[in-house]
Amino acid sequence: MTPALTDLEPKQVWKHFDALAAIPRASTKEAAAREYVLSIAAKHKLEAVQDSIGNTVVRKPAHPGREAAPMALLQGHLDMVCEKNEGTAHNFDTDPIKIRRDGDWLKAEGTTLGADNGVGVAAALAVMESTDIAHGPLEFVFTIDEETGLTGAAEFPGGMLKSKYFLNLDNEEEDTICIGCAGGVKTIARRKVTLRPATGDTGWRIKVFGLKGGHSGVDIHQGRGNALRILGSTLQTLMERLSVEVADLNGGSAQNAIPREASATILLDAAREKELKALVAKLEADYKADLGNFDPELQITVEKVMRPEKVLDAKDAELTVDLLATLHHGILAMSPDVPELVQNSTNLATVALNRDVVEIVTSQRSAIAASKEAAAHMVATACRLAGFQTEHTGSYPGWKPEPNSDIVRKLQAVHENVFGHPAKLIAMHAGLECGVIGEKYPGMQMASFGPTIVGPHSPDERVEISSVEGFWKYLKAVLEGI
Catalytic residue list: 79, 146
303 burial (CB, 10 Å; 0-12 / 13-18 / 19+) is exposed
Beta partners for 195? 312
- CA atoms of 54 and 57, how far apart (whole Å): 10
For residue 300, which phi and psi values (nearest 5 degrees)?
A: -125, 120
- CA atoms of 458 and 85, how far apart (whole Å): 9
CA atoms within a 13 Å half-sphere pointing along the CA-CB vector of 126? 28
Neighbours of 222 (CB within 10 A): 13
Torsion of CA 216, 217, 223, 225, to 10 degrees: 0
- Shortest CA distance to 59 belongs to which of 32, 35, 37? 37
Strand 310-312 with 195-197, pairing: antiparallel
- Shortest CA distance to 451 belongs to which of 93, 173, 126, 147? 173
